[in-house]
Every structure is written in structure tokens, then in C-alpha cells.
Structure 1
Amino acid sequence: MRKRLITIGLVLTVLLAVWSTPAFAQGGDPDGAATLAADPWAPVNFVWVLLATVLVFFMQAGFALVEAGLTRAKNTVNILTKNLLDFCIAALAFFAFGFALMFGGSGAPGLESGNAFIGTSGFFLLNAAYDVNTILLWLFQMVFAATAATIISGAMAERTKVETYLAYSFLVSALIYPVYGHWVWGGGWLGELGAVDFAGSGVVHAVGGVLALIGAWKLGPRKGRFDAEGRPQTIPAHNVVYVVLGVFILFFGWFGFNAGSTLAATELRISIIAANTALAGVAGGVLVMYVGLMRTGRIDVLATCNGILAGLVAVTAPCAFIAPWAAIVIGAIGGAIMLWATSFTERTLKIDDPVGAFAVHGATGIWGVLSVAIFADGTYGDVAGLVAGSTSLIVPQVVSVVALLAWTGSVGFVLFTLLDKTMGLRVPDEDEEKGLDVSEHGYPAYVSEPQSA
């Protein structure tokens, strides 16, 4: 099976390269001269978007460290491998199919055709190979697509076949994420309805979080995660340093994620967006820290880390449209929702989500989308919610959440069911017991004693 998959992958890569070759001479503005003539500030904005892209790309390292740290040492190589390769797979999938499905019809060079439900132009960037504006948009959006795919990894950690993981990373980046993204960001029907999601609480995080929940449910819990009566049993994190460092990296990258979504440094709202991002993250962390302190008399740094991430996820949709005080409220509520969703997932649903991917990204991402309708104050982009005396966003935001759940839930269920029936989702019991580092990759992450020369 592995040799067959590798052969298929190589053949597809060659075909894609041959197919793309004729496009190299095409492009709307290959040297940027027209862009410069139209906007002298374009270089500043280009550098800003490229900087934000690099920051979001570096978040992959944060996800890898958080997932590796929260799981067991015997699976570290496997987790790092998945987080490294899902970026590579997602980039190719978004290049070939995802970008066209998401932004076809937006009107940029090479993206002229599309409809309210799906984009129909821009596949393989064939008609915009050297258009500087389209390529910039692709690069920035590609790292967002990779983030959505990476979120799923943590929920399915320590018991998933690596080949199957790469297969669903491709399909998520090529189809599931782009279609809902088109509805909101690509000129689709939700955007026309008035739904707002500035940087992706729903488009990126809730999509990834809902898929993570479905994948973990279809996969089943790790051995020993629940006792005979169904009570959850703790499987300790193996490296708290990894987790905390990973959260620092994610927090750092989030400034690119949110403020970079202006797509222009000349949009000076970036200062408010960055401040709101910081305040929501710390508010989520502080709330979770104090809840734990009141419950146990101790500070749980791992729960606090997830509280920070929950606050960041929650503010991602409204960050441009709210005042700093609202960012604190949204982030704190995000932390509380994360705690509830974590308990609900494991105690009620009996689903094993090792990193809390659904709680942090799914449940809190949904809250972020809904919070726009409450806290947007009308000071930017004419986006006004209840605090500004407007009810106009309530229906669009609720419909957007329902559409997200319906699309992601139904297609995700079909995807994981088909993969389970064909490639198989789960490793054999003996491989899980041994650890995926040895069984899937042939070597451990840590050497327990010196090796001879």
C-alpha cells in the first residue's frame, strides 16, 4: 500500500508540473509595473502581507510543539512528521484545487469565474502564474489553509495511520476548507448575505475544529483513555516545555494571522487589531488559570495554555470591529467555552481529543463568529452589532454557523468514513502500544542511553 501511494504521488506530481508549464508565460502583472503605477504604496503593503504570511507559517512550529508536548514521548517523531508534511500536502492541494474553489470568481487575474457556491477558475494558478497580486493572495491564503488542516492532527494523535492522515490533509485543503471559505471570503452566498469573519474564527478554526471532532469520534479513543465504566482517565503530557513554547510561538504568529488580514499596512487599524488580539489571548488564559486555581488550589499551566489559544481563536473573527474592552470579554468567554467544551467532549460524548482541538478551535471558533453580531461597534467597515444598536448581523452570523456545521459535519463524516473503509484510519493495537515512532517511522525521538559508534 505504501509503495502504491508513493508511486501515485510521484505520477501526479509529474503530471501537475507538465500541465502547469504552459502557464509560465501568462499573468496579469508579471513585473508589478501596473500595480506600482496604480498604487505607489503597493511595496509597503506587499511587504506587510509577506511578513504576515511568514508569521502564520511559523505557527506550524507552534502547533507541532503543542501537540508533541501534550502527548506521549513514544509518538513524538510521528507527530512532528505529520505537522511537517501536512503543510507540504496542504500547500500543493491549495495550489492545485483549493485556491480556485475558494477565490474563483473574485475577479483577480486568473480568478474571473465562479458562482455563489464555488469558484470555477484559477486551478493550478494556470492563468496567473506571474501576476504579483494573485500570487500574493495565494501565498497568504495558503498558510491559512495549512492551519485548518493542522488543527485536526492533535485530535487524532497517537493512533492514526500517517498515510491516511496525509490523505485527509489533502482533501481538507483541496475541498472542505475552500468551499466554506468561498461562501464567506470568496464572493459566495454567505458574504452576500452579510456574514462577517475578519480573519477566520469560523473559516479556519471552527472548520478545523469540527473536522477534528468528527475524526476523533470515527477513530475511537486511545487505549486506556476511558475505563470500563466510561470514565475518562488522564494520559499525562510528556513535555510541558514544548507546550508552553509552542503557545508562545502560536501567540506570536497570531499577530500576523489577525492584523495581516487587512492585506495592507496602510490600513492603520492594524494597531487596534493587534491590541485586541493580545488582550483576548491573555484574558482567556487568565480566566482559565483562575478557574483552575479556585477548583484545585493550583495553577494548571497546560489548561492556561489552552485558555490563551481559546481567547485568540475567539477574537479572530471580530478583532477589527471591536474596542479593546470587548476583546477582553470575548477572550474570557472563549476561555470559559473551552473549559465547558473540553468536559462535554470527554465526559458526555466520550471522545478522546488529546489536545482539545474541538474545544479550543471548534466551539470557541463558533463563539468568535457569533460575537461579531454582539460586539462590533460600527467604527470599521460599517460592521455594527448589538453594542452599536444594530441587529442586522444576527441572522447572517447564525446562518453562517449553521452552514459551517452542516457542510463541515456532513462532508467530514463522509470523508472519514470512506478513508476508514479504504485506507483504514487506525494503526493496529500492537503498533499503538509500541508507539508510532518505531512502528511507523523506525526510530524514536529520544535515545534513552548512549549509542555505540
Structure 2
Amino acid sequence: MDNTAMIGVQYGLDTFYFLICGALVMWMAAGFAMLESGLVRAKNTTEILTKNIVLYAVASVMYLLVGYYIMYSSPEGGILPSLGFLIGDENAVDVVAAGGEDAPYYAARSDFFFQIVFTATAMSVVSGAVAERMKLWAFLAFAVVMTGFIYPIQGFWKWGGGFLDEAGFLDYAGSGVVHMTGAAAALAGVLLLGARKGKYGPNGQINAFPGANLPLATLGTFILWLGWFGFNGGSQLRMSTIEDANAVAQVFVNTNLAAAGGLIAAMIVARLMFGKADLTMILNGALAGLVAITAEPLTPSALQAALIGGVGGVLVVFSILTLDKFKIDDPVGAISVHGVVGIWGVLAVCFTNPDASLGAQLLGIVCIFAWVFIASLIVWAIIKAVIGLRVSEEEEYAGVDISECGMEAYPEFTRKA
């Protein structure tokens, strides 16, 4: 086989792999929908399902219109992005036909699709944190700005070759760029939105609002666990060489073991603290392990990956309890899973990757969190002033399914004689 033909085969294989990994990450949208609908009360299920499927469509369109251009057509080493529209022409095939080391090894459209699903993942983090009391259209208005501008700007700083990349900040698949970003935006919204009515009592008591469907929440976690193999594995970007194929295999193994380590650690901590195996903490422990390993799933050994995930599982339990003490109401634990553990994941890179610098990792954490939190706070505040963020007390009591969507997820059927 001549060189041009070999390049074509590699191009096709890497493009196919990239697209399949993107499809796995897209399936994570279903995981978020199931997880969140299982952890909210029955009267709010339809609305949260609506948010999850609509935000994916909004992310797809906004990333097409402006997001992709901002993230990947801005000046290298820069802070301020370029503003442009759409994604340009696909001309990689002509370059590949010419061969050479500079030839792209996958279709540019496959990269665009892969980046869309990452954008939607960051926005999905926000959905669960503001559940059960936010207006649907306020949430969707924020999704437009988040997926079109806030997320792509900080994404450019690292993955688009901006100043964080130049500074040596490492984030393989997005513990900071995706997960901490979503959590920072969620935290800003929750602070302006306030807690659900009755969640916190006048004497400091914390009232539990059990989820309506734990089987769905567990299914959602399994779907997210599966999708994460595409999330981390696809971030290797190719697998047509022996070196890349081995790297992808290591990433898959580490991703799986980090989730397992996080789950087991969270279960043990919950048992020691509560005397019970709390399923919601177990589910969040698995997700915390996945978030923790996402910043560097390649360089750790399998045992190190399990330990990194285990630390994430411990952190998430204490973080959820701490946020409740501060009356920061997050119905699904998204801020803890993706924010607190996202920070841990970025820092954990320093333990296994010799190229990592603690200073660069801290710089990335501070810059990304500050930008996303402040920008989101401003956008949330504008939305609050224009259309309001929160439904009325009566609508919240009855459930947002009826007021926002006009239908229930679990209607009561009666048979007439």
C-alpha cells in the first residue's frame, strides 16, 4: 500500500473513531436527563426533561453560529477571542491526498461534532443545580449565552491554543474546561435563584427532598459512565497508530477504574457517616470519580486512577453536606460533583504527569472559574431583571411541570366503567 493510500486509511479510521466517541458523549445527554429526572420530585420531571433535550439543540445551533469560531479561530496565545460565524469549508481531504506530516488525520467536521457534545455537557451540569424552581425560558436564555460565548471563550484559552495553553495548563478532556465551567455557571445561578421552599428550616435544619425515581437516576449514571469512555477516549483524537491505540486502551481502563474507586469510596464514607449505603451518594461518587480522572486519564497507572477517583468520591460526599450547611441548594449535587471534584481533577494531574506545573494548574483553575462565574452572574442578573428567574410560590408548590410545560410526567390514569 502506497503512502497516500495508507494516509487515507488512517484518516478514515481516525474520523470514524472520533465520530463514534462523539456519539457516546451525545448519549451522555440522555444520562443527564435520566439522572436529573430521577433525583427531582415527580412534579418537576417533565420540565427537567424538557430542559435537557432543548439545551442540547440550543448548544448545537449556538456552537455552529459563533462558538466553534471563537474557540478555534482565535489568536494563539491570546486572551481576547476573535468573533466570527459558522465553521468554514471542509477541505481536509485535498490536504490528506497530498500526504505529508502536516496532513490532518481526521475530518474537521468530526472535530466540530465532538466539540458540540462537550459544550452541551457543560450546560447539562447547570440544569440539575437550578432544578425545581427556575423558569424554563430563563434557563434557555442563559443556555444561549453559555454555549455560544461563555464556554467557548475559556475553551479557546486552553484547547484553542490561548494563553492558558501557552502557560502549560493541562486538561486532557475537561475536568476544568467542561466540568468546573458548568459548575461555576450553576453556582452563580443558584446564588441568585435561592433555595427551594422548605429545603432549609429556620433553626438550621436541612429537609430532605427525596428523588421521585431512583431506578432512573441509576440508569442515568450507567449511561454517563458509558458515555465517559467516549468523553475521555475520544480526547486522544486518534487511534490509527500502535501508540495511540495503546493510549486509548489505557484511557478506557483508567476511566472505568476511577469511576469504580469514586463509587466505593463514597459508599464507605456514607456508611460511616449515615449508617446506611446511601444510593444517591453512591451514584454521585461514581460521577465524581469520572470527573476527577478527566483532566488526565492517560498518565496514571490503573491503581493510581482508582485512587484519584476515590479521593473524588470522598470529596463529593463532604462537599454536598457542606453546601447544604451554607444553604446552597443543589438538588442533584452537580456543583459538588463537577465543581469541587473538577478542581481536584485538575490538581491531580500534577501527581502523575511529569509535564504538569502546579502553578499552571492553579492559574487555569482561577482564570476559568473567575471568568465563568462572573460572566454567568452578570447574565443571570440581566435575565432576572428582564423576565425573572424563579417561578411563583404557587407554581413551585404545584410543580413546574404544569406551569412551564402544561403536562405531568406521571399522570394518574383512571379507568371509567
Per the TM alignment, residue 229 of structure 1 is displaced from its structure 2 partner at its CA by 2.3
1:395 paired residue number: 359
- Contact 2:259 2:290 (C-alpha < 8 Å) held by counterparts: yes
1:236 paired residue number: 210
After TM superposition, the score normalised by the length of structure 1 is 0.85
- In the aligned structure 2, how far is the partner of 1:87 from the partner of 1:428? 27
1:309 paired residue number: 287
Per the TM alignment, residue 119 of structure 1 is displaced from its structure 2 partner at its CA by 3.9
What is the total number of aligned residue pairs between the two structures?
398
1:196 paired with 2:170, answer: yes
Of 63, 70, 93 in structure 1, the residue corresponding to residue 62 of structure 2 is 93
Per the TM alignment, residue 427 of structure 1 is displaced from its structure 2 partner at its CA by 0.7
Calculate the aligned-residue CA RMSD, in Å: 1.8
- In the aligned structure 1, how far is the partner of 2:4 from the partner of 2:83? 22
Matches within 5 A, 1:22-41: 38-41=7-10
Per the TM alignment, residue 446 of structure 1 is displaced from its structure 2 partner at its CA by 1.1
- In the aligned structure 1, how far is the partner of 2:56 from the partner of 2:368? 23
Which aligned segments of 4 or more residues in structure 1 are displaced greater than 3 angstroms?
34-40, 129-132
1:374 paired residue number: 351
1:264 paired residue number: 238
One-letter identity of the residue aligned with 1:128: D
Of 356, 369, 373 in structure 1, the residue corresponding to residue 333 of structure 2 is 356
After TM superposition, the score normalised by the length of structure 2 is 0.92
- In the aligned structure 1, how far is the partner of 2:159 from the partner of 2:140? 26
- After superposition, the Cα gap between the structure-2 partners of 1:38 and 1:118, relative to the gap in structure 1 and judged at 3 Å, is farther
Of 101, 104, 122 in structure 2, the residue corresponding to residue 148 of structure 1 is 122
- In the aligned structure 2, how far is the partner of 1:447 from the partner of 1:415? 36
- In the aligned structure 2, how far is the partner of 1:167 from the partner of 1:36? 48
1:448 paired with 2:412, answer: yes
The CA deviation string for residues 296-336 of structure 1, in whole angstroms up to 9 with x for no partner, is 33211111000000000000001022211211111011111
2:399 paired residue number: 435
Of 197, 210, 216 in structure 1, the residue corresponding to residue 184 of structure 2 is 210
- In the aligned structure 2, how far is the partner of 1:41 from the partner of 1:141? 21
Of 4, 10, 15 in structure 2, the residue corresponding to residue 46 of structure 1 is 15
1:163 paired with 2:137, answer: yes
Of 107, 128, 136 in structure 1, the residue corresponding to residue 89 of structure 2 is 128
One-letter identity of the residue aligned with 2:411: V
One-letter identity of the residue aligned with 2:129: A
Per the TM alignment, residue 375 of structure 1 is displaced from its structure 2 partner at its CA by 2.1
1:318 paired with 2:296, answer: yes
The CA deviation string for residues 85-137 of structure 1, in whole angstroms up to 9 with x for no partner, is 000001111111111111114xxxxxxx6661244266212x32676732111
- In the aligned structure 2, how far is the partner of 1:37 from the partner of 1:310? 41
The CA deviation string for residues 39-91 of structure 1, in whole angstroms up to 9 with x for no partner, is 53111101100110110000001100111111100111101000000000011
- After superposition, the Cα gap between the structure-2 partners of 1:440 and 1:130, relative to the gap in structure 1 and judged at 3 Å, is farther
- In the aligned structure 2, how far is the partner of 1:302 from the partner of 1:340? 13
- In the aligned structure 2, how far is the partner of 1:285 from the partner of 1:328? 10
2:103 paired residue number: none
Task: Name which structure has the greater RCO, CA cutoff 8 Å, separation 6+.
Answer: 2
- In the aligned structure 1, how far is the partner of 2:5 from the partner of 2:328? 53
One-letter identity of the residue aligned with 2:367: A
- Contact 1:128 1:134 (C-alpha < 8 Å) held by counterparts: no
1:330 paired residue number: 308
Matches within 5 A, 1:101-112: 101-105=70-74
1:78 paired residue number: 47
SS of equivalent residue, structure 1 residue 123 = coil
- Contact 2:233 2:251 (C-alpha < 8 Å) held by counterparts: yes
- In the aligned structure 2, how far is the partner of 1:437 from the partner of 1:130? 47
The CA deviation string for residues 245-287 of structure 1, in whole angstroms up to 9 with x for no partner, is 0000000000000011111122120000000000100100001
- In the aligned structure 1, how far is the partner of 2:147 from the partner of 2:305? 30
1:289 paired with 2:250, answer: no
User: Greater shift after overlay, 168-177 or 229-238?
Assistant: 229-238
One-letter identity of the residue aligned with 2:331: P
Of 210, 224, 241 in structure 1, the residue corresponding to residue 198 of structure 2 is 224
User: Greater shift after overlay, 88-97 or 223-232?
Assistant: 223-232
1:56 paired residue number: 25
Gaps of 5+ in 2: 94-106
- Contact 1:144 1:204 (C-alpha < 8 Å) held by counterparts: yes
Of 376, 379, 389 in structure 2, the residue corresponding to residue 415 of structure 1 is 379
One-letter identity of the residue aligned with 1:289: M
- After superposition, the Cα gap between the structure-2 partners of 1:351 and 1:42, relative to the gap in structure 1 and judged at 3 Å, is same
- Contact 1:101 1:118 (C-alpha < 8 Å) held by counterparts: no
SS of equivalent residue, structure 2 residue 86 = helix
2:111 paired residue number: 137
Per the TM alignment, residue 230 of structure 1 is displaced from its structure 2 partner at its CA by 3.4
